[in-house]
Structure 1
Amino acid sequence: MAQVRIEPWHEDDLYLLRQLNSPDTRKHTGGPETDEQVLARHDRYVHFADTGQGCMFTLVLPDGARAGSVGYWGREWRDHPVYELGWAVLPAYRGMGLATTAVRAVVDVVRARRDRRYAHAYPSVDNPASNAVCRKAGFTLLGETGFEYPPGRMMRANDWQLDLTAPPTVS
């Protein structure tokens, strides 16, 4: 398993969010945002845990380097409350299993909340790496769906579901 830990998003993580806002990293999520949008997103991330509705985390390597982000938030999906998970990894750190390890850590966080049965992730059907993370983290593919992201833009996504009441799986 990859060596990475998650830490709640911090005011000092703005530089990481700016790095994650690259055309390559955002190609499956609507493209790069303006600096104004990045600053607003950073402010939401910093204060998100205070809302009780979710939390954004940084992926921290043993040497302290910040390698990406991962988070969860509550949403309604098909008339049921679920947690949605999302993540991004800087290009230099891809292919190392960091996203899978980080997603599993976030699943542990939401599982401990014991307030929703399912977690979902909705990677683009054209994003093989994120779909592989879902599979490796123990999610079940329910099929393709239309999904609005970013707001105002429909995309074809895979709907991956994880039963938070089931014992964790290791693959």
Structure 2
Amino acid sequence: MQEFFDKANLLWGAVIAVLTWIFGEYWFVFLLFLALNVIDCIYGYAKSRATQTLSSEKGARGVLKKVSYWVIIAIAFSVSGFLISLGAQLGVDLGFLQLLGWFVLAVYIINELTSIVENMVALGIDVPEIFVKGLNAVRTVVNDAGDRVIPKDSGEEK
């Protein structure tokens, strides 16, 4: 039995090491987002069955949307890292862009939570109003913080 636990601990340690190597110190935030993707798919499927709107096309669009979220997150983190390095070469401090990927990820986490709650409500599950209000408050705080880091009018043509 001890050998089983030793192997399980070794496997778990390897998984954590790989996740940390790929996603960095905060790998668990990405794991949370992945879990929310799966939970949203499950409740979206249940809602589609309950409302008799289930279709393979709708399911495929949902999967494509989830994959697109991951692509946008990867782009946000990659581009911000690239631009920070480029800025350093040019003598321009673009360090604030480090937050770009995190803001994108935060917005998508809030969107997934909101979608899960909406699907639960459509299924007749009682979701406490305080939770819904809390999600809306978090969305506002994250959007406002993002606007302070990268103002709304930066880059917009007038």
For normalisation by structure 1, the TM-score amounts to: 0.35
Structure with greater proportional helix content: 2
Which has the higher Rg, Structure 1 or Structure 2?
Answer: 2
Q: When the two structures are superposed, what TM-score results if normalisation uses the length of structure 2?
A: 0.37
Q: Select the structure with the greater relative contact order (CA < 8 A; seq sep ≥ 6).
A: 2
